Chains A and B, each alone.
Chain A
Amino acid sequence: MRHAQVDSLIDRLVVGACSPAEARAVASHAIGCARCTVRIATARRLSTALGSAPVLRAPPGFAAKVMNQVYRQALAGQPAAEEAPGARRRSLSTMYRRVAFSFMVTAFVLMASLVIPRAAYTSLIAARGADAGVGGSTAVQGVLQSADKAVRGILGEQQVGGNGE
């Protein structure tokens, strides 16, 4: 057996992956070959060292730290059942939907605050005109005047003036 053949078998030999015939051939070669003997010895030491590597243990309190974070997540309203992969994406889309809904509600309220007083004012003016035509009561006129003032305050003097006060 040549050096190269032995070399190709050494790493299999030390893990017991060689056939008995191969193992015998390597052994008989190694008897008269110092270089291959050293290589085989190195391979055996390597195998032993790899197999007896020091055990690395988690630091004390590791599990407690993990569980603290797990419970914190749970308390934050993210129970395990909602935390599957994709849950974060889903929660984001829910958040976007809520923001969009909030914008829509705000826009509606703003629109309503502008349009409704104007419409109310117009109908009040029309009602006052009709009442005046039939000699309406002073109480109704008083209510209408105070409503006028309130609407003026909202819409501004110009608008109120433009409506033929």
Chain B
Amino acid sequence: MPRSAKTETVDDDELIARVRAGETRFFAQLVTRYADPVFAMSLRLIGDRAEAEDVAQEVFLRVHRALPAFKGEAKFSTWLYRITWNMCADWRRKNRRPGRTSSSLETEADQSDGRVNLEKKVIDGEEQAFVQQALDGLDDIYRSVVILHYYQKLSYEQIASILEVPVKTVETRLYRARRQLRLRLEKIGQGGRR
């Protein structure tokens, strides 16, 4: 998920090759390129801005350390997201606590994306809050596929690789997750809201 045209000019493989050759400064381009999705995934999975930032930083440090061992069997982005996923899962295991309220992630979005259109936010804000509330109540296996597919915009194949499950399992989990979310929204009362 490139942020600027400038960083798009060199592809991941070339940057990786240069970093592996000892040109550490090229790692900065990889960090810049993937900072947003890695941070977003961390924040969605962890739910705390400061903790998510720490975990995201640690992800990149680990990636840098492990880069010589990266064989290129999967896309770099998939490998990076798998590391992010694993580190967030570790964090969640060590810091089990009740799910966050929907308002907290909305606030994070307000802080982190000043470009969001104000009118759109007013219209969508309540809907997003309800969806987030329903999402918080899902089991991890369903919540994770929703986050990876809808928020991180990852393909079924990428999600399957990250979660190390068959693609069919991803499809099934996503179907069940959508269904559970809808039922939860109906229960919350959103179904009859409009």
Residue numbers of A with Cβ under 8 A of B are: 10-12, 15, 38-39, 41-43, 45-59, 62-63, 65-67, 69-71, 73-74, 78-81, 83-85, 87
Contacts and interface: CB of A to CB of B under 8 A. Distances in A.
A45 B178 CA distance: 11
Interface string B168-193: 00000001001101100110001110
Contacts of B108: 56
Contacts of B49: 59
A59 B182 contact: no
A80 B68 contact: yes
Interface string B41-77: 0011000010001001100110011111100000000
Nearest to A56: B40
Nearest to A54: B109
Main SS at interface, chain B: helix
Interface residues of B, number: 53
A47 B35 CA distance: 26
Interface of B: 19-20, 22, 24, 27-28, 31-32, 35-36, 38-40, 43-44, 49, 53, 56-57, 60-61, 64-69, 106, 108-109, 112-113, 116, 121, 124, 127-128, 130-131, 146, 150-151, 175, 178-179, 181-182, 185-186, 190-192, 194
- State the 4 A-B residue pairs at the shortest beta-carbon distance, nearest first: A54-B109, A83-B65, A56-B40, A58-B39
A59 B39 contact: yes
Contacts of A74: 24
Nearest to B111: A59
A84 B66 contact: yes
